């Protein structure tokens, strides 16, 4: 894989300056496996410079700005993201491998995060507390300081908006470490933040490897909060590193989310939504409904409905804008193929596969969407996060068994319940151990207003919605003693 002479060499963004580093990392096109550019390989020195730039911004223009003005800057950035949404979609689609239309939708969600939190910036207020005679007591929400943000490669724009926008709205200076495979949209958003007029040092982007830049950010003493989205294994490392400095961490980790389908459900809508939910972004979605739990008496008809839809799914190059693009890298492709091999070895029925467009490049990381039937609930395919377009179907007798199987993994991120019996929907919504439950829908179109996060191995802390703002704020109580 040789880099072409014209391949762009990107720069990272610290303290309002665009910088290079002595070493770089390749930008690889998932549609062909070719090297198409480079990004700086930032490490401990660049992270330290970014944290210091953040501290300087907090002590200067950014710290002095009132909440309404901060909110306006976020709204201005949202406008610029909407202006550049087609460009951002092309950058993201080529970098991640996702179909162009899906990347464009991610760009719109990115803008929505800055709009939502821009509007919220001057609406976070404390309270007064009745206390003893001669006292007035009040609480105020203050910025924490400099916050660290480590995001994964599957939805770089959405993850950036979800994590960075509330932190900025609360007046923190941010240091963002995008995933090494997909840093380009973050660098373009940094350009837009500069154009919007964010003060130098308020928004910093350091590209680099997880074990170098990411580890340095998690362990930095100048960071007041770390927001991490990624795998449970790395989340544990980040939490341990931040814990040594007594720094709080939000962990948004993986999932093995159940979609439970009862015989009385709107079955056509359920089948369409479930297929879309696992094929979108080639299944590389933390909240993908990757297990479908089907009531025994409709198991055969519902799996054949799903099978027809899987056979109709088309996989191709990102700019062909089909149902699925390539997965993000060679390691991810191998990981998914290992699970498919395990299914074959254990004799699990492959009920359907999607089709690959004929004209894709040979070196691209393509995987066919696959539906697998009769998967025992304790099988690795029903327990582990595959993070690919693979749906496992599980037969359940009744509501009680559905609940046991739904709760029977180490994860607890999202669940879907499909039934016309609203009492049953609500019973299950309360009993399933996850952070979000959808009844007769799934994902609510990604609504930025809806608090999101996990239980168990899926993590802790909540992002999205108004709730996220409190995670990036330090609550202070002020007690004033005065004459009666």
Tell me the catalytic residues.
Answer: 252, 286
**Residue 409 Cβ vs ligand NAD, minimum distance, rounded to whole Å:** 13
Tokens representing 171 are 């007046």
In the DSSP assignment, the letter for residue 196 is: H
Nearer to ligand NAD by C-beta: 121 or 238? 238
**Residue 252 Cβ vs ligand NAD, minimum distance, rounded to whole Å:** 3
Q: In this structure, are residues 430 and 415 in contact, taking their beta carbons and an 8 Å threshold?
A: no
**Residue 459 Cβ vs ligand NAD, minimum distance, rounded to whole Å:** 6
- Our finding on whether 414 is near ligand NAD (CB under 6 A) is no
- Binders of ligand NAD among residues 180 to 199 (CB under 6 A) are 180
**Single residue of 37, 148, 254, 326 touching ligand NAD by CB under 6 A:** 254
**Residue 295 Cβ vs ligand NAD, minimum distance, rounded to whole Å:** 27
- From residue 372 to residue 411, the character string flagging contacts with ligand NAD as x (rule: CB under 6 A) and all else as - is -------------x-x------------------------
- Our finding on whether 205 is near ligand NAD (CB under 6 A) is no
Site of tokens 């996220």: 468
**Residue 48 Cβ vs ligand NAD, minimum distance, rounded to whole Å:** 15
**Single residue of 41, 58, 104, 177 touching ligand NAD by CB under 6 A:** 177
The candidate with the shortest Cα–Cα distance to 360, out of 390, 331, 322, is: 322
State the Rg of the chain over Cα.
Answer: 23
In the DSSP assignment, the letter for residue 379 is: S
**What is the three-class DSSP state of 246?**
coil
**Single residue of 253, 270, 391, 448 touching ligand NAD by CB under 6 A:** 253
Q: In this structure, are residues 432 and 406 in contact, taking their beta carbons and an 8 Å threshold?
A: yes
Using CB atoms within 10 Å of the CB of residue 6, give its burial: 0 to 12 exposed, 13 to 18 middle, 19+ buried. exposed
Q: In this structure, are residues 413 and 458 in contact, taking their beta carbons and an 8 Å threshold?
A: yes
Nearer to ligand NAD by C-beta: 234 or 261? 234
- Our finding on whether 92 is near ligand NAD (CB under 6 A) is no
**Single residue of 215, 261, 437, 448 touching ligand NAD by CB under 6 A:** 215
Nearer to ligand NAD by C-beta: 153 or 418? 153
Nearer to ligand NAD by C-beta: 252 or 353? 252
Cβ neighbors of 200 (< 8 A, separation 6 or more) are: 15, 16, 17, 53, 57, 61
Q: In this structure, are residues 364 and 31 in contact, taking their beta carbons and an 8 Å threshold?
A: yes
Q: In this structure, are residues 364 and 30 in contact, taking their beta carbons and an 8 Å threshold?
A: yes
Q: Which residues pair with 391 in a beta bridge?
A: 371
Site size with ligand NAD, rule: CB under 6 A: 29
**Residue 31 Cβ vs ligand NAD, minimum distance, rounded to whole Å:** 19
**Residue 264 Cβ vs ligand NAD, minimum distance, rounded to whole Å:** 31
Go through the chain and tell me how many residues it has. Answer: 484
**Residue 411 Cβ vs ligand NAD, minimum distance, rounded to whole Å:** 9
- Our finding on whether 179 is near ligand NAD (CB under 6 A) is yes
**Single residue of 91, 238, 265, 352 touching ligand NAD by CB under 6 A:** 238
- Our finding on whether 210 is near ligand NAD (CB under 6 A) is yes
Nearer to ligand NAD by C-beta: 249 or 265? 249
Distance CA(4)–CA(203), nearest Å, equals: 31
- Our finding on whether 245 is near ligand NAD (CB under 6 A) is no
**What is the three-class DSSP state of 398?**
coil
- Our finding on whether 204 is near ligand NAD (CB under 6 A) is no
The candidate with the shortest Cα–Cα distance to 452, out of 475, 468, 473, is: 468
- Binders of ligand NAD among residues 279 to 308 (CB under 6 A) are 286
**Single residue of 94, 150, 336, 371 touching ligand NAD by CB under 6 A:** 150
**DSSP secondary structure, 271-339, as one string:** HHHHHHHHHGGGG--TT-EEEEEEEGGGHHHHHHHHHHHHHH-EE--GGG--SB---SSHHHHHHHHHH
* Residues near ligand NAD, by CB under 6 A: 150-154, 177, 179-180, 210-211, 214-215, 218, 229-231, 234, 237-238, 252-255, 286, 385, 387, 413, 454, 459
């Amino acid at each position: 894989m040789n880099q072409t002479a014209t391949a762009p060499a990107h720069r990272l963004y610290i303290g309002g300056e665009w910088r290079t580093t002595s070493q770089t990392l390749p930008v690889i096109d998932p549609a062909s496996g070719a090297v198409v550019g480079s990004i700086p390989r930032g490490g401990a020195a660049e992270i330290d410079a970014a944290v210091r730039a953040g501290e300087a911004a907090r002590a200067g223009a950014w710290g002095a700005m009132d909440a309404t003005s901060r909110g306006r800057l976020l709204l201005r950035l949202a406008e610029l993201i909407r202006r550049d949404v087609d460009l951002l979609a092309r950058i993201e689609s080529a970098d991640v491998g996702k179909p162009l239309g899906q990347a464009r939708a991610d760009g719109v969600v990115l803008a929505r995060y800055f709009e939502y939190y821009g509007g919220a910036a001057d609406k976070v207020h404390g309270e007064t507390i009745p206390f003893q005679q001669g006292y007035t007591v009040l609480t105020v929400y203050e910025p924490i300081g400099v916050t660290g943000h480590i995001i994964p490669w599957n939805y770089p724009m959405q993850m950036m908006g979800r994590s960075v926008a509330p932190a900025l709205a609360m007046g923190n200076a941010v240091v963002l470490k995008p995933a090494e495979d997909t840093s380009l949209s973050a660098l373009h958003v940094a350009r837009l933040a500069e154009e919007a007029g964010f003060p130098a040092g308020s928004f910093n982007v350091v590209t680099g490897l997880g074990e170098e830049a990411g580890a340095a950010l998690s362990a930095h003493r100048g960071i007041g909060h770390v927001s991490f989205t990624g795998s449970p294994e790395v989340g544990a490392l980040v939490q341990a590193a931040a814990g040594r400095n007594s720094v709080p961490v939000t962990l948004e980790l993986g999932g093995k989310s159940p979609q439970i389908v009862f015989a009385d459900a709107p079955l056509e809508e359920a089948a369409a939504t479930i297929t879309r939910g696992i094929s979108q972004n080639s299944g590389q979605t933390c909240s993908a409904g990757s297990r479908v739990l089907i009531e025994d008496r409709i198991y055969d008809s519902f799996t054949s409905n799903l099978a027809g839809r899987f056979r109709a799914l088309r996989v191709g190059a990102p700019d062909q804008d089909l149902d699925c693009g390539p997965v993000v890298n060679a390691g991810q492709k191998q990981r998914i193929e290992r699970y498919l091999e395990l299914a074959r070895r254990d004799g699990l029925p492959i009920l359907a596969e999607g089709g690959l467009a004929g004209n894709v490049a040979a070196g691209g990381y393509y995987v066919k969407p696959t539906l697998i039937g009769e998967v025992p609930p304790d099988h690795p395919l029903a327990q582990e996060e595959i993070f690919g377009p693979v749906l496992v179907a599980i037969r359940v007798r009744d509501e009680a068994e559905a609940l046991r199987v739904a709760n029977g993994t180490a994860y607890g991120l999202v669940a879907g319940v499909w039934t016309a019996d609203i009492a049953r929907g609500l019973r299950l919504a309360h009993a399933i151990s996850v952070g979000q439950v959808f009844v007769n829908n799934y994902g609510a179109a990604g609504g930025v207003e809806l608090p999101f996060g996990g239980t168990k191995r899926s993590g802790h802390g909540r992002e999205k919605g108004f709730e996220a703002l409190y995670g990036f704020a330090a609550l202070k109580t002020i007690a004033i003693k005065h004459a009666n």
